[in-house]
Amino acid sequence: MTPPLTNKRLTMLEALIAKGTQDPFVRYARALELRGLDRLDEAAAAFEELRTRHPRYVPSYLMAGQTMVSLGRTEDARAWLTQGIQVAKEERDEHARSELQQALDTLA
């Protein structure tokens, strides 16, 4: 994937958000895009905004936790993963719960 395509995708996602989309996937995709561009602080902020707006969006918790690990913010990663496990249980998403638990178990 070339950077111009990534930037186009980010621009498109940001335009959808600016238009008022309520689709949590759009915000999730934006956070992932920022992460992929190694704009980790911005990605962390985007995951935080996603959690504020859509706290039941289970996929965000694992990716946010991994982003925090990349930033060297282990305690924040632990908090994200722990909360994600709880949300996944409540949403009856056993696959996500298992992935979140594995990620939590690997933290030092």
What is the CATH number for 65?
A: 1.25.40.10
Domain count, the chain: 1
Query: What is the per-residue pLDDT across 34-83, written as a single tens digit (0 to 9) for each?
Result: 999 999 999 999 999 999 999 999 999 999 999 999 999 999 999 999 99
Distance between CA atoms of residues 88 and 91, nearest Å? 5
pTM of the model: 0.89
pLDDT at 77: 98
| Domain coverage including residue 69 | 3-106
pLDDT at 108: 64
Query: What mean pLDDT do residues 80-98 have?
Result: 98
- Cβ contact 65:84 at 8 Å: yes
Q: What's the DSSP call for residue 54?
A: -
Query: What mean pLDDT do residues 76-101 have?
Result: 98
